[in-house]
Chain A
Amino acid sequence: MYRRLLCGMAFAVALSAPLASRAQDTELGKIREELRQLKEVYERRIQALEQRLQQSEAKAGKAEEAALQAAVQASSRPAGENAFNPALSVILNGTLGNLKRDPNAYRINGFVPTMGEVSPPPRGLSLGESELVLSASVDHLFRGALIAAIAPGGGIEVEEGYVQTLGLSSGFTIKAGRFFSGVGYQNAVHAHAWDFTDAPLASKAFLGGQLAEDGIQVKWVAPTELYVDLGLELGRGRKFPGVPDGGRSKNGFGSGTLFTHAGGDLGASTAWQLGISHLRTSPQGRGYNDVDSTGTAVNNSFTGRSRLWGIDGILKWAPNGNATSTNLKLQGEYFRRTESGALTYDTQAASLGTQTGSYRSKQSGWYAQGIYQFMPEWRVGYRHDRLNSGTTGIGLVAPGALTAADFPVLGGHNPRRNSVMLDWSPSEFSRWRLQLARDYSRFGVPDNQVFLQYVMSLGAHSAHKF
């Protein structure tokens, strides 16, 4: 405050100088002389002080200093080869599910299937994916992290595996490898840190549950008190909405993402963040399965371009910023996607023969959720999901050719879902959650879902993003 005032005054003095320039010439000489004298006085005083300081330092018992040093060292962590081990943690989770409709036949009607992990957890008791997290600084310039997901049925998948710069300045960070894309808000949050057992419908329909790209991310944080970032990702396009089977063999990039966020505090109790993101990719032969009008299982595929826009917002409140006893978290995201290109029906010629026609769709979806911690360890939450299948134009659906009944999964439908949850976290490392949901993702009767879930982390303390 004073600093700004003084700066302003200095500028004012500088600018008003010409008004009295002549008269000041002699005046200036006097001031210069006074300043010189003042400087000399201060320099002498500082020298004297420095001498005194050195003397007293020398006197202040060398033995005492040595003893202190020894104590500091003795209380330091054990050093050795072991000290360089990366931080290691394991995340275990499991669910007890009770679902009215079979989760194996789950689909989101009105939306092209993503062929990703979008089904709700299974019926009955099941172990979820176990996560193994390793991270450490590589050297003074880089940091690396590996997050491997071990499927309950066996098989390990690299969920994230990236290196990240620590050595850059001016607000730049570069990430390379496989990482959760910065599109939207929740996509970059690990499943074990989600506030509900499963992903929002919008994430399932537009990002195949959670989009992890192989690529490079450049992020810049602006030098302002208001938080502003800008990010660019160039990726392989290895997953939906790119190509679900790992990306095609092509030089260059298969997907591009841009995102920007702004955020800050409103007083001591509230923090907020708003984001806009855009993901574009050009899928080539992105296949999905459907059952046509003859009742035959067919494989269809899409080639063209896919554009996704997202807006996300988050607001966290805690009395005086102390979230220990009570706090509130509001979160919402909106996505809008347009796809245009060609749709090939029955690529395997298993039914009425392979045919290709134009395809174009404009679809959207959103969710909003609120989580309230009403006492230490206990939280309640509500989430509302809504998707709009919008307009889908299939060129092959024409008189004398195929009918809409040959593309049932793309038929108009506005899925929605309501979820409530109650969770208990006896420590930062364990959580038990009960979730109830009524899900209208599919045509017909709603699916009533009950999940009892545990999420536990062993080992290193994990830090969660805002």
Chain B
Amino acid sequence: MKTILKVLALIGLSFSFCQAFAALNIFACEPEWGALAQEIAGDKAAVYSATTALQDAHRIEARPSLIARIRSADLLVCSGSELEIGWLPLLLTQSGNSRIQRGMPGYLEASQQVARIEIPQVVARSLGDIHPGGNPHIHTDARNIARVAEVLALRLAQLDPQNAVAYKFRSEAFGARWRAAIERWERAGARLKDVPVVVYHRDFSYFIRWMGMREAGSLEPKPGIPPTPAHLAELVEQMKRAPAKVIVYSPYNDPRAAQFLSERTGIPAVMLPYTVGGNEKAKDLFGLFDETIALFLAVMK
């Protein structure tokens, strides 16, 4: 009798053990927030990233697999500021999940936690596919990630109070490592100050500002509009007058425009990882910035 009770208790325990393991389902719109959630939540959550570094978060299909994932999510972490406007609203209305709707504790818009830049004075489609709430690509400034990490830890504690101590513990440990890394990156990046750079899309604006670099042009004639021959010709002329040091693009961009401009001007074109998984070395958030800065420094020689 006693043995049976013990077995039952153990089975019960292993049930709660398994449940405790995946207490929270986290749905991250972009890989950087998936990686951050993994850092803070550790094994207390199952993290799913809706997109990869090879996909353009501006243009994602509201696929059935994404609806299936968001349906069971307890927390949604997205860049926001209309980056995901073409697909996230649809996922939200189809999810049948009240926990992650706008305004609920399970809805976290990373860009709303930091000061955004490039907020357009005039909002019109003739200016391209601009983001009226400001530039949403906030994660390219590591200091913004530190800020989002703090909010994320609080949100996790709110949603899963049982593990609140663990979240606090992990976020403090991450924060300490991250602050040290920021110091390291800022020291290494000091040489990038005032360096002119041509971007593909304005997805490195926060990094450029953080490092004190200068944006000398963009391959897109207007945000979200693919490069045109006329615009590229103009850039070639412009680079002849005032050459930039480097042309950068993201893994989800078509590399041909950057290569074209590079061939015509002799300015090196570099594919930056942009987010976690963007190249082999950008395996996590630390690797992402190590690699981004290393790639910039490599062309400075």
Binding site for B on A (CB under 8 A): 3, 6-7, 10-11, 13-15, 17-18, 21, 46, 49-50, 52-53, 68, 71-72, 74-77, 137, 140, 143, 164, 166-173, 219-228, 261-265, 268, 271-273, 316, 320-325, 376-377, 426-429, 458, 461, 463-466
Contacts and interface: CB of A to CB of B under 8 A. Distances in A.
Contacts of B7: 14-15, 17-18
B6 A21 contact: yes
A273 B97 CA distance: 21
Given A17-B10, A376-B254, 19 more contacts: A3-B21, A11-B14, A13-B10, A15-B11, A18-B3, A18-B4, A49-B172, A53-B172, A140-B103, A166-B93, A173-B96, A219-B96, A221-B71, A263-B63, A264-B68, A316-B63, A321-B60, A324-B252, A428-B59
Nearest to A18: B3
Interface in B144-182: 147, 165, 168-169, 172
A221 B96 contact: yes
A321 B165 contact: no
A288 to B, nearest CB: 37
A398 B64 CA distance: 52
Contact of B71 (A171, A265, A273, A377): A171
A136 to B, nearest CB: 11
B98 A323 contact: no
A53 B14 contact: no
A273 B64 contact: yes
Q: Which of A71, A166, A222, A428 has most chain B Cβ within 10 Å?
A: A166
Interface string B93-117: 1111111011110000000111111
B89 to A, nearest CB: 5
B107 to A, nearest CB: 11
A71 B90 CA distance: 31
A50 B71 CA distance: 35
B190 interface: no
Interface residues of B, number: 73
6 contacts: A76-B112, A172-B96, A219-B96, A263-B63, A273-B64, A464-B86
A316 B96 contact: no
Return the 4 tightest CB-CB contacts between A and B, nearest first.
A263-B64, A227-B64, A71-B115, A10-B14
Given A143-B93, A316-B61, A427-B129, A46 B6 contact: no
Contacts, number: 190
A77 B117 CA distance: 12
B64 A261 contact: yes
B188 interface: no
A141 to B, nearest CB: 8
A272 B98 CA distance: 26
Contacts of A171: 71, 95-97
A75 B119 contact: yes
Contacts of B95: 171, 173, 221
Given A14-B10, A320-B54, A463 B94 contact: no
A223 B71 CA distance: 7
Contact of A46 (B55, B117, B169): B169
B62 interface: yes
Contact of B62 (A53, A223, A463): A463
B78 to A, nearest CB: 14
B18 interface: yes
A272 to B, nearest CB: 8
Contact of A463 (B54, B89, B103): B89
Contacts of B129: 427-428
Contacts of A268: 52, 54
A168 B98 contact: yes
B102 A137 contact: yes
A32 to B, nearest CB: 13
B43 interface: yes
B132 A321 contact: no
A11 B15 CA distance: 8
A169 B64 contact: no
B146 to A, nearest CB: 11
A264 B172 contact: no
A264 B64 contact: yes
B226 interface: yes
Contact of B22 (A3, A164, A169): A3
Nearest to B61: A466
A192 B112 CA distance: 33
Interface in B26-80: 43, 46, 51-52, 54-56, 59-65, 67-69, 71-72
B90 A465 contact: yes
B102 A221 contact: no
A77 to B, nearest CB: 6
A321 B59 CA distance: 10
Given A6-B21, A324-B252, A75 B115 contact: yes
A77 B4 CA distance: 62
A263 B133 contact: no
Contacts of B69: 225
Nearest to A323: B59
A390 to B, nearest CB: 33
Given A7-B14, A75-B134, A427-B225, A46 B96 contact: no
A325 to B, nearest CB: 5
B85 interface: yes
B17 interface: yes
B300 interface: no
Nearest to B67: A227
Contacts of B55: 320-322
B40 to A, nearest CB: 14
Contacts of A11: 11, 14
B242 to A, nearest CB: 29
B22 A461 contact: no
Contacts of A221: 67-68, 71, 94-96
B13 interface: yes
Contact of A72 (B54, B63, B115): B115
A465 B62 contact: yes
B72 A17 contact: no
A226 B115 contact: no
Nearest to A316: B61
A463 B86 contact: yes
